[in-house]
């Protein structure tokens, strides 16, 4: 197929991402040659409800965790392998044409503030390498943590490499379960910082699931029907996390229904849709506050992640910020694929012996080469291209 051969440079990587929303797995096939990453294909598979429930349960302390973790580690790897197979089938690419998979894994616990700080992503890379026949780079976060960092966020290095401008101050805003920002000043001599601002979708998802058994608030329609309860919003915004200076990172370990319930005690008069509206406002206000405080000169906020499909959230951001608000689509990068693309790039950094963390972002003492490498087993005779 001459067309396809012309498109492939031999620098193909697959990025695999499943974020804190536990919605599903994103797989992106990325070509890194000549210079800008080019998305050749992508595939999304939602988690089956049973495994989603197991993963959510595992992200909170519970019974028999080691046994549960062991099973989930393999089950998640099997799903990752299925998504990779489907991506390869759709794109017509053979495993040997790719250099590696960068697999973020599914976070089941992120405790950067613990006495012994730790973070845990599952989806056994040994299984993934065996099942796909592709080298896997995985376990990206723990080396940064070992170097004194939060282990998160890691996408900022990718944002800096491909979305920084020399003429305007940009902020990249990822609206996943958690919201994280990367501040990209125009002056290349000014350092880059980035951090988790707090919830983006995770509390809205949890509240609509609890109240209405929907997985998420499609297009923010339920939040749009409610009125923001300003005294509740003020109390939520008073949480210490929003006041802490960066570096900082968080997850559903903190921002969950238990966290919300502390503020709802004796408040049975609140309407559920007003609580949803207040949670949406909590996300937008905490993001706006963080950008205004740490990037007051920002001219453009470039958004990605599932929250870009929530027009209520997007409108509040546009109204509250003194900058143009748009998505990465305006810059040629699919907002739903950028995180998976970032992990494809991080795998490439690792194989090229280059660091993947930004110490000013994560708080690490120094840049580090991230992740472990799980080599593909290859029978060289299988690598011979039958077309040659
Ligand atoms: N059509 C939509 N309307 C509103 N919110 C949406 C829509 N589609 C996705 N989302 C939100 O985006 C979340 C998934 O975003 P994603 O970027 O995949 O997050 P994560 O990285 O945490 O997995 C969903 O849980 C949901 O809250
Ligand atoms: Mg997701």
Rounded-to-integer distance, Cα 374 and Cα 249, Å: 27
- Residue 22's region, left for phi above 0, alpha for psi from -120 to 50, else beta, is left
| Domains assigned to the chain | 2-150+337-383 (3.30.420.40), 155-331 (3.30.420.40)
Ligand sitting nearest the alpha carbon of 218: 1
Q: Which of 15, 21, 59, 223 to mutate to test the pocket of ligand 1 (most atoms within 8 A of CB)?
A: 21
pLDDT score, position 382: 54
| Residue 2 predicted with pLDDT over 80 | no
Mean pLDDT of the chain: 94
Checking if the pLDDT of 192 tops 90, the result is yes
Candidates 345, 366, 304, 348; CA nearest to 357 is 366
Residue 266 pLDDT grade (very low, low, confident, very high; cuts 50, 70, 90): confident
Is residue 19 lining ligand 1, measured as CB closer than 6 Å? yes
pLDDT average, residue stretch 78-89: 98
Are the C-beta atoms of residues 13 and 30 closer than 8 Å to each other? yes
Contact in structure between 364 and 379 (CB atoms under 8 Å): no
Q: What is the DSSP letter of 150?
A: -
pLDDT above 50 for 181: yes
- The pLDDT of residue 381 is above 80: no
Mean pLDDT for the stretch of residues 282-302: 98
Residue nearest to atom 25 of ligand 1 (CA): 21
Is residue 264 within 8 A of residue 270, CB to CB? The reply is yes
Nearest CA to ligand 1 atom 14: 306
Largest CA distance in the chain: 73
Q: Does residue 327's CB lie within 6 angstroms of at least one atom of ligand 1? A: no
pLDDT band at 8 (very low <50, low <70, confident <90, very high): low
Q: Is the pLDDT confidence value at 137 over 50?
A: yes
Residue 174's nearest CA partner among 163, 165, 190 is: 163
Q: Is the CB of 283 under 6 A from ligand 1?
A: no
Which positions ≥6 away from 99 have C-beta within 8 Å? 10, 11, 12, 13, 135, 347, 348, 351
pLDDT at 378: 72
305 in contact with ligand 1, CB cutoff 6 A:
yes
Residue 339 has pLDDT above 50, yes or no: yes
- Say how many Å lie between the CA of residue 140 and the centre of ligand 2: 18
Q: For position 194, what pLDDT does the model report? A: 96
- The rounded Å distance from CA 19 to ligand 1 centre is 10
pLDDT value at position 388? 39
Contact 170/163 with Cβ under 8 angstroms? yes
What is the structure's pLDDT at 387?
A: 47
């Amino acid at each position: 197929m001459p067309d396809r051969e012309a498109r492939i440079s031999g620098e193909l990587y697959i990025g695999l991402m499943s974020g804190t929303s536990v919605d599903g797995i994103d797989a992106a096939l990325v070509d890194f040659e000549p210079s800008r990453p080019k998305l050749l294909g992508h595939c999304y598979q939602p988690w089956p409800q049973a495994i989603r429930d197991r993963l959510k349960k595992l992200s909170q302390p519970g019974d028999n965790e080691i046994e549960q973790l062991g099973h989930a580690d393999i089950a998640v790897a099997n799903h990752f392998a299925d998504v990779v197979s489907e991506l390869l089938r759709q794109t017509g690419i053979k495993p040997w044409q790719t250099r590696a998979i960068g697999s973020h894994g599914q976070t089941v616990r992120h405790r950067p503030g613990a006495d012994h700080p730790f973070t845990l992503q599952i989806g056994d890379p040994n299984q993934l390498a065996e099942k796909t026949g592709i080298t896997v780079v995985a376990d990206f976060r723990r080396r940064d943590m070992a170097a004194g960092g939060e282990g998160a966020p890691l996408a900022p290095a990718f944002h800096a490499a491909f979305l920084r401008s020399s003429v305007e101050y940009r902020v990249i805003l990822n609206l996943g379960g958690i919201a994280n920002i990367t501040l990209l000043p125009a002056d290349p001599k000014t350092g880059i910082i980035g951090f988790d601002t707090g919830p983006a979708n995770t509390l809205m998802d949890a509240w609509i699931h609890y109240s209405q058994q929907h997985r998420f608030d499609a297009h923010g329609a339920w939040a749009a029907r409610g009125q923001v309860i300003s005294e509740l919003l003020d109390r939520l915004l008073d949480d210490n996390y929003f006041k802490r200076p960066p570096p900082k990172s968080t997850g559903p370990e903190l921002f969950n229904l238990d966290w919300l319930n502390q503020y709802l005690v004796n408040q049975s008069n609140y309407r559920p849709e007003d609580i949803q509206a207040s949670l949406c406002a909590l996300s937008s206000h905490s993001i706006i506050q963080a950008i205004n405080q740490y990037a007051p000169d920002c001219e453009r906020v470039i958004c990605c992640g599932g929250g870009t499909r929530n027009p209520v959230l997007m409108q509040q951001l546009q109204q509250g910020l003194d900058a143009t608000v748009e998505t990465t689509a305006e810059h040629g990068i699919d907002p739903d694929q950028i995180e998976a693309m970032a992990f494809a790039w991080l795998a490439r950094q690792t194989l090229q012996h280059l660091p993947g963390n930004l110490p000013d972002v994560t708080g690490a003492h120094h840049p580090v080469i991230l992740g472990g490498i799980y080599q593909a087993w290859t029978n060289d005779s299988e690598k011979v291209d039958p077309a040659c």
